[in-house]
């Protein structure tokens, strides 16, 4: 299967599910028409970008997506939209320059018939880095993530599920795969640089996610952190890593879309996604609960869900071949990625506890109902996909799609057969249940109590518990920097631009203006002298005339003498 087609088909499936969900959701928010217009145009332009065989056509579609992103985020807040425009705009401008270099070097504008360039001279290397950075910014790496988090506050869940969760990932990863596989032969140093970006993204973003207490913002940080895995896999340069990166991209769009839609359910029914104000929703909104559990386990990489299947492939890619020093780096990145997975699970435990399992706060009305069927369906389908793609990863995804894409058979180092494993997991769960029911253990439910005394308002906030992470010594500095925006690369770039603009403005522009003004004033000073002569009095003019006449006569006489 062609890689362009793969991305096109799956982007329409995912995008379509979100749009089906949005039908009822958008009705309530009364922004239906522009939302659906921008969403469909986004899907069309994204397909154009995937299918384009010409670099310039590709850039046109890709750039149009930036404008649509601006318009779509602008439905929520133009302030966020401006931030998104600047951040993603940096990536787009990098990409445009990179493509210009690429065409200038190769003279080839066909994407599909492109002969990969060696990354052995400065121009090729800068072209690679520019395009890769453009792709990664689109996908949303740490450092250019500010707009995603801000949009989580200002925009509805459907927009989040549509753009940062699914389409932006499709686009960024498509370009990154093309860059690493079809446009360039990536050398070891560049590969390690890109992988380092990926590994740092995994770890830093998940640390940020850990302390979020808003469901949507937490998901936004995970949307950033998961990009790291994809980048890691693709930049590893091994076939299984690239296939794993692609698979993880697809899986991510499935479970992250599912999670955002679940957040959308809560937003739809309660109008609030602040975790500390939620609780006890598992009984009131069972479908939402199930969807969230499945997707949370998927994103954390718990077998046999799909997140595990793809992460496992990425880890395999990292463990694969490589020169001595490269493999050392790869092991470090592997450890970082695994640690990231652990923290992901931790942060989703918080979500499950705070929103669904923990006690219901008093302010929450007790007549909260599950969302309408039309909104449940996409969630159920996505949750089902999480399970199916995990259990039958080999037969449904790797063999028919991923092996043709990378053009080779994918071999694991160890043996992992998800379908067999699932049977074993289910069997052991059943065995556990049997032991439990046979043992007839007695239990009772009770409220929280301290020293035997019951507490009246004893809700334990999951969010507060996780906030204590911020007090750990080395992390304290990290969170402080994050708080003041130290990780926002686009902010630094803007500040640098502003500072240099002061220098250039005063040192060059204003000083030249000063000199020009001086010359202009000089003209007036000189002409003021002549002005005095022109007094408008007839006798003066006659005097000047006579004087001139006398002078002329004098010159004439002198010349006569000379001859």
Residues forming contacts to other proteins in the complex (CB under 8 A) are 56, 59-64, 66-67, 78-79, 82, 85-86, 89-90, 92-94, 96-97, 100-101, 103-104, 123, 126, 494, 497-498, 500-502, 504-505, 508-509, 512-513, 515-517, 519-520, 523-524
Between 62 and 229, whose beta carbon lies closer to other proteins? Answer: 62
| Count of residues making up the chain | 563
- The minimum distance between CB 545 and other proteins, in angstroms, equals 29
Q: What Rg value do the Cα atoms of the chain yield, rounded?
A: 32
Contact 273, 263 (CB under 8 A): yes
Contact 104, 71 (CB under 8 A): no
Between 85 and 240, whose beta carbon lies closer to other proteins? Answer: 85
- Please choose, from the candidates 24, 272, 36, the residue with its C-alpha nearest in 3D space to the C-alpha of residue 159: 36
Between 434 and 526, whose beta carbon lies closer to other proteins? Answer: 526
Contact 309, 229 (CB under 8 A): no
Contact 219, 263 (CB under 8 A): yes
- Please choose, from the candidates 322, 446, 305, 458, the residue with its C-alpha nearest in 3D space to the C-alpha of residue 387: 305
CA-to-CA distance for 483 and 506, rounded, in angstroms? 33
- The minimum distance between CB 481 and other proteins, in angstroms, equals 24
- The minimum distance between CB 520 and other proteins, in angstroms, equals 5
Strand partners, 214: 274
- The minimum distance between CB 515 and other proteins, in angstroms, equals 8
Between 64 and 327, whose beta carbon lies closer to other proteins? Answer: 64
Instruction: Tell me the backbone φ, ψ of residue 449, rounded to 5 degrees.
Output: -145, 155
Between 1 and 123, whose beta carbon lies closer to other proteins? Answer: 123
296 to 183, 215, 409, 417: CA distances (angstroms): 35, 12, 30, 22
Q: At what angle do helices 146-154 and 215-235 cross, to 10 degrees?
A: 150
- The minimum distance between CB 130 and other proteins, in angstroms, equals 9
Contact 359, 459 (CB under 8 A): yes
Tell me what percent of the chain is helix, strand and coil, each rounded to the nearest 5: 80, 0, 20
474 to 16, 119, 411, 477: CA distances (angstroms): 44, 38, 40, 6
Residue whose structure tokens are 């090729």: 124
Among the residues of 75-187, which ranges form H helices? 78-106, 122-139, 146-154, 157-160, 168-177
CA-to-CA distance for 474 and 472, rounded, in angstroms? 6
- The minimum distance between CB 90 and other proteins, in angstroms, equals 7
Between 95 and 190, whose beta carbon lies closer to other proteins? Answer: 95
Between 127 and 383, whose beta carbon lies closer to other proteins? Answer: 127
Sign for the CA dihedral angle at 516, 517, 518, 523 comes to: positive
Between 338 and 512, whose beta carbon lies closer to other proteins? Answer: 512
- The minimum distance between CB 212 and other proteins, in angstroms, equals 27
- The minimum distance between CB 51 and other proteins, in angstroms, equals 16
Between 27 and 513, whose beta carbon lies closer to other proteins? Answer: 513
Strand partners, 454: 449
Between 430 and 515, whose beta carbon lies closer to other proteins? Answer: 515
Between 32 and 48, whose beta carbon lies closer to other proteins? Answer: 48
CA-to-CA distance for 122 and 195, rounded, in angstroms? 20
């Amino acid at each position: 299967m062609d890689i362009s087609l793969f991305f096109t088909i799956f982007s329409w499936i995912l995008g379509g599910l979100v749009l089906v969900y949005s039908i009822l959701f958008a009705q309530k928010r009364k922004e239906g028409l522009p939302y659906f217009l921008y969403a469909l145009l986004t899907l069309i332009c994204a397909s154009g970008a995937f299918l384009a065989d010409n670099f310039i056509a590709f850039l046109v579609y890709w750039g149009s997506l930036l404008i649509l992103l601006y318009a779509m985020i602008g439905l929520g807040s133009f302030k966020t939209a401006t931030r998104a425009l600047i951040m993603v705009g940096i990536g787009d401008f990098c990409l445009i320059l990179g493509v210009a270099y690429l065409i200038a070097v190769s003279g080839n504008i066909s994407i599909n018939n492109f002969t990969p360039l060696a990354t052995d001279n400065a121009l090729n290397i800068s072209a690679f880095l520019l395009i890769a950075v453009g792709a990664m910014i689109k996908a949303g790496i740490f450092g250019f993530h500010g707009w995603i988090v801000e949009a989580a506050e200002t925009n509805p869940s459907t927009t989040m599920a549509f753009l940062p969760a699914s389409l932006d990932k499709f686009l960024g990863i498509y370009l990154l795969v093309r860059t690493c596989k079809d446009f360039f032969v990536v050398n070891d140093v560049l590969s390690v640089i890109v992988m380092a970006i990926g590994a740092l993204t995994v770890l830093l973003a998940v640390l940020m996610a850990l302390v979020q207490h808003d469901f949507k913002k937490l998901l936004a940080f995970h949307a950033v952190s998961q990009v790291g895995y994809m980048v890691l896999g693709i930049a590893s340069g091994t076939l299984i890593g690239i296939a794993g990166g692609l698979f993880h991209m697809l899986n991510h769009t499935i479970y992250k879309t599912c999670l955002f839609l679940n957040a959308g359910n809560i937003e739809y029914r309660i109008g609030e996604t602040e975790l500390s104000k939620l609780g006890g929703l598992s009984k009131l909104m069972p479908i939402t609960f199930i969807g969230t559990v499945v997707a949370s386990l998927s994103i954390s990489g718990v077998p046999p869900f799909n997140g595990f299947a793809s992460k496992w492939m990425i880890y395999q890619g990292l463990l694969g071949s490589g020169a001595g020093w490269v493999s050392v780096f790869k092991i470090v990145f592997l450890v970082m990625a695994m640690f990231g997975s652990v923290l992901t699970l931790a942060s989703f435990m918080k979500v499950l506890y705070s929103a669904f399992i923990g006690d219901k706060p008093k302010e929450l009305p007790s007549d909260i109902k599950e969302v309408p069927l039309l909104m449940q369906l996409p969630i159920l389908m996505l949750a089902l996909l999480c399970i199916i793609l995990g259990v039958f990863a080999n037969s449904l995804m790797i063999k028919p799609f991923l092996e043709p894409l990378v053009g080779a058979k994918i071999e694991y180092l160890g043996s992992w057969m998800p379908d067999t494993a699932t049977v074993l997991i289910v069997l052991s769960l059943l065995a556990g249940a049997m032991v439990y029911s046979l043992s007839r253990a007695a239990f009772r439910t009770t409220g929280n109590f301290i020293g035997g005394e019951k507490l009246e308002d004893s809700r334990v906030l999951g969010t507060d518990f996780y906030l204590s992470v911020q007090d750990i010594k080395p992390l304290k500095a990290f969170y402080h920097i994050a708080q003041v925006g130290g990780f926002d690369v686009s902010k630094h770039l803007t500040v640098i631009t502003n500072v240099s603009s002061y220098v250039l403005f005063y040192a060059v522009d204003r000083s030249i203006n000063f000199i020009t003004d001086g010359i202009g004033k000089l003209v007036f000073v000189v002409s003021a002298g002549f002005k005095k002569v022109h007094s408008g009095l007839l006798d003066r003019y006659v005097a000047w005339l006579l004087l001139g006449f006398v002078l002329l006569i004098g010159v004439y006489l002198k010349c006569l003498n000379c001859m």
